[in-house]
Structure 1
Amino acid sequence: MAKHSYEFKKQLVSEYLDNQGSYASISQKHGMSSSCQLKTWVAAYKKLGDNGLKRSRSRKEYSFIITLIR
């Protein structure tokens, strides 16, 4: 389960992009221990839009044997 919802991420990213504060001030305001995660979300949003903030639903697991063959 994702720690933060899409809506929460979108709200913080929007606040930052609307110049409502710095990474640190917005993170602190919403109870996050560090601003690093917000920086990551902003970068993902700038590159991929809303999809950058959504949790990936595809599993990327490979068996050990298949990885050895490739």
Structure 2
Amino acid sequence: MSPAWRSARRSARALAGVAAREAVEQCRAALAAFEDAAIAAQAGAHPGIQSDENVLPASAKLRAE
């Protein structure tokens, strides 16, 4: 196998790795948004609205614990 072929294969793998990491990050963000909405719904809160009486739970804090 020629060095150029190995280099091209490594480059392709590197690009695929970048795309995979970006896809994982998009899924992570979508899951976090879904969890926020689910926790808010269970608590009877309205997503995106915070007041003294109706404070959304912070799912990020829950995931960190």
TM-score (norm 2): 0.26
Q: Which has the higher contact order (CA 8 A, sep 6+)?
A: 1
Higher CA-based Rg: 2
Greater percentage in helix: 2
